[in-house]
């Protein structure tokens, strides 16, 4: 959200050793590497399934977590896969 709000933060992120290449690739290609897609989708599902089964006592809230996981997965997978 504040990516371009602070020129100093923007420059730091683009030059970051680990995050910079991912951010630049996404900005230039609008694509996500396959490894990042797999990790992202896996973490979303692990987290939201945990919340759905163990944290919520309400069936509607659990259903909302599942629908949220589906939506996030769809969004991540809708981007092209970056080939190296």
CA 67, chain centre distance (Å): 16
% helix, strand, coil for the chain, step of 5: 70, 5, 20
At 25 the pLDDT is 87
Q: Where are the domains of the chain?
A: 7-82
| pTM for this model (two decimals) | 0.78
Cβ–Cβ < 8 Å for 30, 20: no
Instruction: Please state which of the ranges 40-49, 51-60, 65-74 shows the lowest mean pLDDT.
Output: 51-60
Separation between Cα atoms, residue 50 and residue 55, nearest integer Å: 7
At 57 the pLDDT is 79
Give the residue-averaged pLDDT of 49-54: 89
């Amino acid at each position: 959200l504040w990516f371009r709000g602070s020129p100093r933060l923007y420059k730091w992120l683009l030059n970051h050793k680990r995050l910079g290449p991912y951010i630049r690739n996404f900005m230039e290609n609008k694509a996500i590497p396959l490894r990042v897609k797999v990790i992202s989708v896996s973490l979303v599902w692990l987290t939201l399934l945990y919340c759905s089964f163990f944290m919520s006592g309400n069936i509607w809230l659990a259903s909302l977590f599942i629908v949220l996981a589906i939506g996030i997965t769809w969004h991540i997978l809708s981007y092209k896969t970056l080939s190296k």
